[in-house]
Amino acid sequence: MSEIKVELKKLIIDVLDLEDVSVSEIIDDEPLFVDGLGLDSIDALELGLAIKKEYGIKLDANSEDTKRHFASINALAEFITSQS
């Protein structure tokens, strides 16, 4: 598992207080929202702020691209890597 994916999973668990979820339980290609991990729009806002703070990446909450970037751990890792 790549380092960025592990970092993102830990960030999600910490920022969203997912005490009953471990890094190994978050599947890289499963959806983060609704199905899969089951996050909601409030979680998306909190996660977006945390990613902005951690990685210095500006996100547009209303952009279709942003929705695509937040689709899964794989998509989010690819987006962050491309912005570095």
What are the extents of the domains in the chain? 3-83
Query: pLDDT category, 59, cuts 50, 70, 90?
Result: confident
Distance CA 53, CA 31 (A): 23
What residue type is assigned to position 36 of the chain? G
- pLDDT digits 0-9 by tens, 17-46: 999 999 999 999 999 998 889 999 899 999
DSSP 8-state code for residue 17:
T
Residues 39 and 32: beta-carbon distance below 8 Å:
yes
CATH code linked to domain 3-83 = 1.10.1200.10
Distance CA 77, CA 81 (A): 6
| Burial status of residue 37 (CB atoms within 10 A of its CB: 0-12, 13-18, 19 or more) | buried
Query: pLDDT category, 5, cuts 50, 70, 90?
Result: very high
pLDDT at 70: 92
